[in-house]
Amino acid sequence: MDRHNGYYSGSSSRRSQSSHPADAHRTEHIPPPPPPDESYWAALLREGEASSEEESRQHGSWGTWDSGEIVVAADSGNHTQNEAQDWELVERAQQEDRAVELPVIGYNRGGLLVQWNSLRGFVPASQLLEFPNLPDGHARRAELSARVGQRLHLRVIELSQAQNRLVLSERAAAVEAGARAGILDRLQPGDTCEGRVTNLCEFGAFVDLGGLEGLIHISELSWGRVGHPKDVLNRGDMVKVYVMEINRDHGRIALSLKRMQPDPWETVEQRYQIGQIIEGLITNVVDFGAFACVEEGLEGLIHVSELAEGSFLHPRNVVHEGERIRARILNINGQARRLGLSLRHLDGEPISTSDRQIQEQP
């Protein structure tokens, strides 16, 4: 029986790419950084699920692949005699932050299965150095299958004997021993750094800082509205980020992309005036009106009463998402982050107090 089947339902990991010269010739013991939390394992599995979800609907024969079945080479074997000793070897390698070379014996939708003596470890696809972003399930499966039989240079990034969890990374093995722990020591809140986007999920984007990953929460991607991180970033993008917070005990680094630019709401009252005609792009249409993007990070609300003269069934009968419009500014409140707009007052007609008050309502 495969002792590691249990953790594939929620496994993933962190990555790395660059090294630090000062760490290259260290001989003393350098502890690896703490492992990532469970939300990250779940995020990477969902990435694998998403990559083959459409294929599952179209091809019924993919049922076992989509259910998470692990495809293992026929001659891989399943050794159990020396498990206790092998767990000790793995733990020692992790403590020493030492890289190892292991054969690939199988795969599932999330990544590769490798053999470490009597143990089997998991290498998430996002932890491979040269794994393409493949939304097509067939192509992803073929890419993973082609790596069976290869030997990979890997480093342990997560280990739990109690949970039968052994997760390794080819990215982490590309840096010198101690480089990942060194990142946690060197970075400080308020620093800016550069990294590569390695994974996108519904709650944010993960960025490889050269040995450890930081998270840009979806709320920190832009000063404006973001539906999904993929609307702002792509896997493989190089980005400059602002370090918001570091939790050294848990190995977490909170990053921000939007804080690399000034908050447009802080100066909105100096840059715009009531009565000014501006151009915008309709970004969202709701029952009570429509939102229009005036500039990156700055959206205004056109209340339903300010969309058009007369009556209509729904704001969508007047405007639609993606439409470019001209509107007059009714009110500005930078502190409350509100900008009231109107499509009715484009002819120079004075703006009444009641119109301003409508736009100032929540």
DSSP per-residue letters across 280-303: EEEEEEETTEEEEEEETTEEEEEE
pLDDT at 8 over 90: no
Amino acid code (one letter) for 12: S
Q: Which of 174, 207, 237 is the last residue of a domain?
A: 174
pLDDT at 249 over 70: yes
Task: Let me know if residue 181 belongs to a domain.
Answer: no
What pLDDT shows up at residue 200? Answer: 87
Task: Let me know if residue 243 belongs to a domain.
Answer: yes
128/70 same-domain check = yes
279/245 same-domain check = no
What pLDDT shows up at residue 42? Answer: 52
290/234 same-domain check = no
Task: Let me know if residue 278 belongs to a domain.
Answer: yes
* 10/149: higher pLDDT: 149
40/61 same-domain check = yes
Mean pLDDT for the stretch of residues 287-315: 93
Residues contacting residue 76 through CB under 8 Å, at least 6 positions apart: 105, 106, 115
Task: Let me know if residue 182 belongs to a domain.
Answer: no
CA distances from 71 to 107, 141, 144 (A): 5, 10, 10
Task: Give alpha helix (H) positions in 211-319.
Answer: 268-271
93/204 same-domain check = no
CA distances from 22 to 5, 41, 183 (A): 39, 31, 12
pLDDT at 245 over 60: yes
> d(Cα 110, Cα 92) in Å, to the nearest integer?
26
106/204 same-domain check = no
Domain extent at residue 274: 264-360
CB 255 within 8 A of CB 206: no
Mean pLDDT for the stretch of residues 262-275: 94
72/120 same-domain check = yes
> d(Cα 211, Cα 20) in Å, to the nearest integer?
10
Task: Let me know if residue 224 belongs to a domain.
Answer: yes
Task: Let me know if residue 180 belongs to a domain.
Answer: no
What pLDDT shows up at residue 352? Answer: 52
134/197 same-domain check = no
- Cα dihedral 220, 224, 229, 234 sign: negative
Q: Which of 148, 174, 200 is the last residue of a domain?
A: 174
Task: Let me know if residue 284 belongs to a domain.
Answer: yes
Q: How many domains does the chain have?
A: 3
Cα torsion through 309, 314, 315, 320, rounded to 10: -130
Q: Which of 139, 174, 209 is the last residue of a domain?
A: 174
90/201 same-domain check = no
Amino acid code (one letter) for 234: N
**What digits encode the pLDDT tens for the residues 218-233?**
999 999 888 899 999 9
29/49 same-domain check = yes
> d(Cα 107, Cα 122) in Å, to the nearest integer?
9
CA distances from 68 to 46, 73, 144, 162, 335 (A): 11, 16, 14, 21, 49
* 4/92: higher pLDDT: 92
pLDDT at 215 over 90: yes
CB 293 within 8 A of CB 280: yes
Cβ neighbours, 10 Å, residue 8: 21
> d(Cα 145, Cα 72) in Å, to the nearest integer?
10
165/17 same-domain check = yes
Q: Which two tokens stand for residue 175?
A: 């840096």
Mean pLDDT for the chain overall:
78
Task: List, as own/partner pairs, every contact residues 162-166 make where C-beta atoms lie below 8 angstroms and the sequence separation is at least 24, other chains included.
Answer: 163/6, 163/7, 164/3, 164/4, 164/6, 164/7, 165/4, 165/7, 165/11, 166/4, 166/90, 166/116, 166/119, 166/120, 166/121, 166/122
120/88 same-domain check = yes
CATH number at residue 37: 2.40.50.140
Task: Let me know if residue 345 belongs to a domain.
Answer: yes
